[in-house]
Structure 1
Amino acid sequence: MSKILVTGAAGFIGSYIVARFAEHGDQVVGLDNINDYYNPNLKFGRLQEQGITAKEVGINGTLNRSSFPWFKFIKSSKWNNYRFIRLSLEDKNAMAMLFANENFDIVINLAAQAGVRYSIENPNAYIESNIDGFINILEGCRHNGVKHLVYASSSSVYGLNGKVPFSEHDGIAHPVSLYAATKKSNELMAHAYSKLYDIPTTGLRFFTVYGPWGRPDMSPFLFMDAILNDRPIKVFNNGDMLRDFTYIDDIVEGVVRIANIIPTVNQSWDETNPDPATSPAPYRIYNIGNSQPTRLMDYISCIEKSIGREAKKEFLPMQSGDVYQTYADSSALADATGFKPDTTLQDGIDETVKWYKSFFAYK
């Protein structure tokens, strides 16, 4: 059993990761600042699924941001081995104290300011959370003997790279959003710490994750809400886009497996032909995706089929910061873990629609 820090524990992927490790019997600390980038009631719903309810917090009524305490460990009523703390990654002193007091074995860093389009409107939020916050994670690992740091990168780092499928062994020199640039920066920062301080780090490039409890700013939820409320959906680039959709259960399986595979140095490292995915330091980058890109219109058809209603469509040009396609070569992750995502898009959408209707009380 390990002691594990999961940041972004009230977030979409983080909430699932907390559940898997807690159910396995590991000692788990979940961290989140519960920001209001999207409706925090969704985050409180995820926390309640973890046994972090108003009763445990000491609140009369329902959980809310104004009354949820900072810097206080809340013990789960569901798992005795899980505690949650509200804390921001960019709080340098608080993060240093957390690492020094808890002595984590593994850190799963999923907390970040998300969203490609929002990075165009509010770039400072991305620097504070994704850069300042990440250096505090690295420093915590450096000074407290963390055995493995696993952190979220993104398929967005591939930017203008037109070679498909996207491979970790290809360069990522041309991001097209500040969000992507911060994720690329995380990979560079992690490599520097792996090389300087011998900290094993693994970066995971997620490809369009969806499923129950997902983010409301992502297309599955935007489309579902619009269709169920008889509003038109916005179809960018006139529907001519491809995405590598990955169901949440497949993502979780990949993260959990890779957390226990500590990267080692690449003994065959060739400095005249350097491999971006490996290093003479204990550093590794993996794609984690379904490796089956789907056309946007086919994806919409899956949602229409699951809901039982055709969408009204408003066709629009490509949005700034978007890329034409994402397509993961996840063979390296499969080789390392023995696992390959296998949830079909229709099955995943069916589960997502079922949860969405239940959570938002659609009839």
Structure 2
Amino acid sequence: MKTILITGCAGFIGFHLSKQLLLNDYVVVGVDNLNSYYDVNLKQARLKQLKEYKYFTFELCSIEDKEAMEKIFSQGQIDIVINLAAQAGVRYSLENPSAYIESNVVGFLNILECCRHNKIEHLIYASSSSVYGANTKLPFSTKDNVDYPVSLYAATKRANELMAHTYSHLYDLPTTGLRFFTVYGPWGRPDMSYFKFTNAIMKGEKIQVFNFGQMKRDFTYIDDIVEGIVRLMDKKPERVQVPNISSSAPHKVYNIGNNRPEELMTFISVIEEKIGKKAKKEFLPMQPGDVHATYANVEDLEKEIGFKPKTSINEGIAKFVDWYKEYYKLE
């Protein structure tokens, strides 16, 4: 029975992944600092469910706390580490840049160091589609240049990829980075657009539609994200010299997206349909740090694990709206 350490276990993706692994008879050590970036009650509600499982243990800790992380790693054999803890959000990085450096850079360094010194089999870590910055070639491929981020959040995620590659090269630590594309679904993050839209429409309030609605996103349902991660756990990158590539480090980066971008206005109309109520829309200019479109090339993912995300926004949004009504006790 393998032991998996999941940082950010009370977060959106971390919660769903932890639950799935516990159902699959893994031992899960969950780490989270339960910060107040968004509703702590929602995080506590997720955590309450995880604590019902026999093979789940929880450590209240920030990954930037080096001594605390070293203690957690020393308490028992950890086989695989999945780092999902991070300061999230593109727009918040304009307000509080220090939080991103502390969690996403210093914290990730601590994870790498702990993995290095404890002979971890495989480190999987969250990157982001935001690393593609203002790239205009679609779909986004992991072979594309990603040297021009347009937000500090994106810059820290790209830094994670470079740091992981370095540790893979120097210490033969297998690392896999996952560029997530606009993840949504039940138990999601209240700072995400679909959650805000649903909340505002239900209350009869205005929704803010940026770039006057002229945006596309590759919306990816949470269950598809979880399945991709679970399948990749046993796909450790190997040290292989590829022609015309200077690196042979056991490091790999994948896109995990639905491979089908949707118009923002179409996405809003699906939410309206599932709620049964029209939105009051306030059209606004593009926000700093935002991008016009995202679109994931998932050929590598499909080749390696025989899987690609497939849940439609009609199916995914219906499940989210049902959860939203149940969680907030609405008719």
TM-score tier by shorter-chain length is over 0.9
Counterpart of 2:220, as a letter, is: T
Check conservation: 1:234, 1:313, Cα contact below 8 A: yes
Choose the corresponding residue for 1:154, options 120, 128, 140. Answer: 128
What is the 5 A alignment of 1:1-363?
1-51=1-51, 78-271=52-245, 279-363=247-331
Q: Hey, what's the Cα distance between the residues in 1 that align with 2:54 and 2:206?
A: 46
- Distance in 2 (CA, whole Å) between partners of 1:162 and 1:303 is 28
Asked whether the 8 Å contact 1:7–1:111 carries over to 2, the reply is yes
TM-score (structure 2 length as normaliser): 0.98
What TM-score comes out, normalization by structure 1 length? 0.90
Q: State the aligned residue count.
A: 331
Q: Which residue of 2 aligns with 1:55?
A: none
Identity fraction in percent: 58
Please, which runs of 5 or more residues in structure 1 have no aligned partner?
Answer: 52-77
- Cα deviation, residue 26, structure 1: 1.2
Shift of 1:342: 1.2
Q: Distance in 1 between matches of 2:240 and 2:187?
A: 38
User: 1:21: Cα distance to partner?
Assistant: 1.1
Q: Which amino acid aligns with 2:107?
A: G
The one-letter amino acid paired with 1:13 is: I
Q: What is the distance in 2 between the residues matched to 1:49 and 1:26?
A: 16
Residue 314 of structure 1 deviates from its aligned partner by 0.4
- Match of 2:147, SS state, is coil
In structure 2, list runs of 5 or more residues that go unmatched.
none
Distance (whole Å) between structure 2 residues aligned to residue 104 and residue 146 of structure 1? 7
Q: Which amino acid aligns with 1:5?
A: L
User: Given residue 31 of structure 2, which amino acid in structure 1 is its aligned partner?
Assistant: L
Mapped partners of 1:266, 1:177: distance in 2: 33
For residues 268 and 324 of structure 1, what CA distance do their matches in structure 2 show?
33
> Alignment RMSD, CA only?
0.9
Contact 1:269 1:280 in 2 (8 A): no
CA distance in 1, matches of 2:140, 2:240: 21
SS in 2 for 1:88: coil
**Shift of residue 339, structure 1, vs aligned partner:** 1.0
Q: Measure the CA separation in 1 of the matches of 2:69 and 2:202.
A: 42
SS state at 2:301 partner: helix
Distance in 2 (alpha carbons) for counterparts of 1:123 and 1:352:
31
